[in-house]
Structure 1
Amino acid sequence: MSKKDVIRARGEVTEVLPDSMYRVKLDNDHDALCVASGRMRKNFIRVVVGDRVVVEFSPYDLTRGRIVYRET
């Protein structure tokens, strides 16, 4: 699977869970369990409740995603 096979969506963090996991409410009213991407962990980008984020999904499982960008 290549990088262009991902689905991107925007949402808001509603809950912070252990191990860099987050519950995100997407703009289309779906909930997703997301993990912070490796680049965000490496650069110590903190995500808190209420932050707007961009999430990438695999076409195979739309309930779990990866947070790739935190909007200001």
Structure 2
Amino acid sequence: MPSTNFRVKLDDGEEVLCHLAGKLRIYRIKILIGDRVTVETSPYDPKRGRIVYRGK
């Protein structure tokens, strides 16, 4: 995906298209394949979301 867009697989098996939140982008936090992340989904479009935290 281009730039800071990621395809994230949720625990229930659904895939969501996500972008990085502001602080993750500002501090250049790298997201790698296999990282567990916390996602906020939009109430208007449940197929899009925002990555707000990168777990270990």
TM-score, structure 1 length as denominator? 0.75
Larger Rg: 1
Confirm whether residue 37 of structure 1 aligns to residue 21 of structure 2: yes
Whole-angstrom distance in 2 between the partners of 1:61 and 1:33: 10
Confirm whether residue 70 of structure 1 aligns to residue 54 of structure 2: yes
Unaligned runs of 5+ in 2: none
- Whichever residue aligns with residue 30 of structure 2, its letter is R
Q: State, as a whole percentage, how many aligned pairs show the same letter.
A: 50
Whole-angstrom distance in 2 between the partners of 1:31 and 1:44: 24
State the superposition RMSD in angstroms: 0.6
Partner of 2:3: 19
Structure 1 moving runs of 4+ over 4 Å: none
TM-score, structure 2 length as denominator? 0.94
Confirm whether residue 48 of structure 1 aligns to residue 28 of structure 2: no
Unaligned runs of 5+ in 1: 1-16
